Amino acid sequence: MAAPRNAFYAQSGGVTAVINASACGVIETARANHSKMGKVYAGRNGIIGALTEELIDTSRDSAAAIALLRATPSGAFGSCRYKLKSVEANRREYERLLEVFKAHDIGYFFYNGGGDSADTCFKVSQLSESMGYPIQAIHVPKTVDNDLPVTDCCPGFGSVAKYVAVSALEASFDVRSMARTSTKVFVLEVMGRHAGWIAAAGGLIEDEGIPVVVLFPEIPFDEKQFTDRVDALVKQHGYCTVIVSEGCHRPDGSFLAEQGSKDAFGHAQLGGAAPVVAGIVKRALGHKFHWAVADYLQRAARHIASATDVQQAYEVGAAAVELALAGHNAVMPTIERVSDTPYQYRIGMAPLSAVANVEKFMPRDFITADGFGITEACKRYLRPLIQGEDFPQFSNGLPVYATLANVAVARKLPPFELR
Amino acid sequence: MAAPRNAFYAQSGGVTAVINASACGVIETARANHSKMGKVYAGRNGIIGALTEELIDTSRDSAAAIALLRATPSGAFGSCRYKLKSVEANRREYERLLEVFKAHDIGYFFYNGGGDSADTCFKVSQLSESMGYPIQAIHVPKTVDNDLPVTDCCPGFGSVAKYVAVSALEASFDVRSMARTSTKVFVLEVMGRHAGWIAAAGGLIEDEGIPVVVLFPEIPFDEKQFTDRVDALVKQHGYCTVIVSEGCHRPDGSFLAEQGSKDAFGHAQLGGAAPVVAGIVKRALGHKFHWAVADYLQRAARHIASATDVQQAYEVGAAAVELALAGHNAVMPTIERVSDTPYQYRIGMAPLSAVANVEKFMPRDFITADGFGITEACKRYLRPLIQGEDFPQFSNGLPVYATLANVAVARKLPPFELR
């Protein structure tokens, strides 16, 4: 009996607090099926590692090290922003991929990423037909933006949502304490260039009694309506919190974050949306403000990850291996919601043709009529996703996160130049 | 036997993740000594509540509600930024304070704040002599800035230090993942206008293998030396993390955060130091960057509080009551370090005359010779302060924080106008 074929796994695009939990699911499930699947080779820095034949032999890491991936944020093997062109436009890269796959007897391709990555995975899945190399390509969903179609939610999102809701709640308590003589408006900028899912999570603190305004990329920013809303909330509550998506923009399409600000030396400065929004409040209403930009902190915050999210990230990784072993190609495991309360879901499957390059935005009925908050339907959707805590272990006051050995697989091919 | 005299407690200045733990220590210890100390009246919005006779009757909250204060960030009774002038300069306010104290039979004054507040507390402590009203004033130390003298550390600091170290570690893992094709330098701005203690905590991630540069307010910013250091670290590690104090400034005293930036409309924009530092890196080295400004998130982050800090915050609150009952006036409980490893401390006492208006900066030997990192002596100092986790309870994915009834004490005096 021939040795089972090996697998290639790569992380793609912006990393998350739980993408390594998916890696853990892939590797542990592959190990459990070692009679049917060989080694899992990880791409160093994503798909680039496949092109440059920089493969990491994950079998060199102990079971304990791999298990610790479940509790480790970021991409343990390195990720990249690199989108393969079509086979027609860049045949050279696909031929190289096949050379590397052949050289290392790789028959399974697991690609862990968002919409762009699903497109890459889809292209690889077609190599069986287009270039006559038998390979099964399975996409493992990941994105803090929660903008993949078909699946009810995306691993990575629940944890950033929990981070944003917890952080916004805590900062709002702070502002509430100080509002009498100091800060009355706190602005928190969160990720989301096109879809407002992350900002929406900030809206959950309304249920904790916090006056909150949410600015979505889906709703063009109306300065007057916004300052009127803030004014009303501050008059009623003495303070308010504003959650602004980085992608919030004016009706003409210009981002709030890119208002052409320059520093004292005349250099263009990449602003944030938060200071712009804070400035608008200050000028219109005169309130003292504070602002924060969470940036990477939000998507890296494994210490406050959602247990639901960690579990789902693991499960889609495990399911990807199971789908491959069941003979599937060009598919992605999905999360199918069965019920809101109690929250139940099952792992489903979507064809990559339906996933690649499709973005899922906030439905209009998840946003309140005035455009500044989330509806009960949205809250029903969001609440289960931030449920549960899955704290990492701590040592000397800091979380214990995995740094793998990342032992290189010996090269068999000549170098390849990325262009 | 006369009824025991009541106590006044107020929170002052910027709030922290654990100032309510001190409130909990005060109230629970007062309750345990109810034969010697009457009710604890909290000032609504700090000392302002004493002036306006807006007192909160903490006896109206259950033991469970008070216990939950230990796990609740921010100031449960409201805080304020309001510094009493000297008795000579504003006799009217002191006379009003005494009227309110007399009207409510207040014999104990507990003031929970930083250096400015210690000054206020000191002035109140002198009312016994200067205005013939018997009162004991005890200061309860609190400040994320860790800049109070005498005490080894300040409650509030350990938790913000833990937040900064954890967040910087997590974000650094993120950058490390992405550095091959994307972000190479991540800049995190933290609090600290004059003292660099909070930024120093970011330096702890060096022990986790992260290349990190720390910019302190104590060290004038040298742009060339800084970009050289970043360049060397990126060349060696592929990426680096920068922690910048909000108070970081150039040799001429100008803050990095206040470089007179203007938005597209010509409005002055309150920048942050982080985007300025990121811009400097970009121009000098061309690296892709990301930046975050933690602002209130850092001092409100009760979810990742240091267990050591929570415990010490509680203990100084409890000690304040015990010191008062032992007859002390014009003092502050302090934390005296007995040993680093294992970490041991005891609660001591300092006269307010030695505390008021004195700021404690980072000793030069806590900062590396090049000015961009922390020394082993500094690490020995910091490590115990972030030890231990004290997670709040969670419900539906969010922390359970106390919102007290804050029942008002009936007024007995005519209104008082703040000027």
Nearest CA in chain A to B162: A397
Q: Which of A174, A208, A304 to mutate to test the interface with B (most CBs of B within 10 A)?
A: A174
Q: Tell which residue, A203, A196, A193, A195, has the closest CA to residue A165.
A: A203
Q: Which of A289, A296, A299, A340 to mutate to test the interface with B (most CBs of B within 10 A)?
A: A296
Contact A161, A201 (CB under 8 A): yes
Nearest CB among A205, A383, A397 relative to B386 is that of: A397
Nearest CA in chain B to A392: B389
Distance from CA of A33 to the nearest CA of B (A): 28
CB contact under 8 A, A396 and B387: yes
Max CA distance (Å), chain A: 78
Mean pLDDT score, B145-172: 98
**Rounded-to-integer distance, Cα B98 and Cα B245, Å:** 40
- Residue A59: phi and psi, rounded to 5, are -70, -15
Contact B54, B37 (CB under 8 A): no
CB contact under 8 A, B79 and A264: no
Q: Quote the tokens at residue A245.
A: 């998506």
CB contact under 8 A, B292 and A294: yes
Contact B238, B184 (CB under 8 A): yes
Contact A213, A223 (CB under 8 A): no
CB contact under 8 A, A303 and B401: no
Nearest CA in chain A to B170: A300
Q: List the catalytic residue out of A145, A147, A309, A390.
A: A145
Nearest CB among B11, B181, B397 relative to A81 is that of: B181
Query: DSSP per residue over A186-240, as a string?
Result: EEEEE--SS--HHHHHHGGGGGGT--EEEE-TTS---HHHHHHHHHHHHHHHS-E
User: What's the pLDDT at B22?
Assistant: 98
Distance from CA of A223 to the nearest CA of B (A): 14
Q: Which of B56, B186, B269, B311 to mutate to test the interface with A (most CBs of A within 10 A)?
A: B269
Q: List the catalytic residue out of B57, B145, B309, B390.
A: B145
Return the DSSP state at B175: H
Residues B119-148: tens digit of each pLDDT: 999 999 998 788 889 999 999 999 999 999
Instruction: Kindly state the percentage of chain A with pLDDT values over 70.
Output: 97
Query: What residues of A are in contact with residue B75 (Cβ under 8 Å)?
Result: 177-178
Residues B81-119: tens digit of each pLDDT: 888 888 888 889 999 999 999 999 999 999 999 998 999
User: What's the pLDDT at A261?
Assistant: 52
pTM above 0.90, yes or no: yes
Mean pLDDT lowest for which of A18-27, A121-130, A405-414, B219-228?
Answer: A121-130
Query: What residues of A are in contact with residue B252 (Cβ under 8 Å)?
Result: none
The reply to whether A145 belongs to the active site is yes
Query: What residues of B are in contact with residue A183 (Cβ under 8 Å)?
Result: 296
Nearest CA in chain B to A170: B300
CB contact under 8 A, A181 and B394: no
Contact B133, B103 (CB under 8 A): no
CB contact under 8 A, B174 and A300: yes
Q: What torsion, rounded to 10 degrees, do the Cα atoms A151, A155, A158, A160 define?
A: -130
**Helix segments in A107-209, DSSP class H:** 115-125, 127-131, 157-178, 197-202
Residues A64-83: tens digit of each pLDDT: 999 999 999 999 999 998 88
Distance from CA of B139 to the nearest CA of A (A): 20
| ipTM exceeding the 0.90 mark | yes
Query: What residues of A are in contact with residue B11 (Cβ under 8 Å)?
Result: 177
Nearest CA in chain B to A10: B177
Q: A395: how many CB neighbours lie within 10 A of its CB?
A: 9
CB contact under 8 A, B398 and A389: no
Distance from CA of B8 to the nearest CA of A (A): 18
Distance from CA of B371 to the nearest CA of A (A): 24
Query: What residues of A are in contact with residue B390 (Cβ under 8 Å)?
Result: none
Q: Quote the tokens at residue A300.
A: 């890296």
CB contact under 8 A, B75 and A178: yes
- Comparing A130 with A265, which gets the higher pLDDT? A130
**Rounded-to-integer distance, Cα B86 and Cα B295, Å:** 32
Query: What residues of B are in contact with residue A274 (Cβ under 8 Å)?
Result: 293
Domains of chain B: 6-143+305-358+389-399 (3.40.50.450), 157-300 (3.40.50.460)
Residues A32-63: tens digit of each pLDDT: 999 999 999 999 999 999 999 999 999 999 99
Nearest CB among B45, B188, B295 relative to A180 is that of: B45
Q: Which of B16, B163, B295, B400 to mutate to test the interface with A (most CBs of A within 10 A)?
A: B295
Q: Quote the tokens at residue B358.
A: 């004195």
Residues A300-331: tens digit of each pLDDT: 999 999 999 999 999 999 999 999 999 999 99
Residues B205-227: tens digit of each pLDDT: 999 999 999 999 999 999 999 99
Question: Cα dihedral sign for B399, B190, B146, B356?
Answer: negative
Nearest CB among A180, A276, A294 relative to B297 is that of: A294
Distance from CA of A45 to the nearest CA of B (A): 7
User: What's the pLDDT at A172?
Assistant: 98
- Residue B110: phi and psi, rounded to 5, are -110, 120
Confidence of residue B235 (pLDDT cuts 50, 70, 90): very high
Nearest CB among B11, B173, B186 relative to A73 is that of: B173
Q: Tell which residue, A360, A200, A357, A189, has the closest CA to residue A279.
A: A189
CB contact under 8 A, B174 and A73: yes
Contact B254, B267 (CB under 8 A): no
Question: Cα dihedral sign for B319, B324, B325, B326?
Answer: positive
User: What's the pLDDT at A112?
Assistant: 98
CB contact under 8 A, A182 and B81: yes
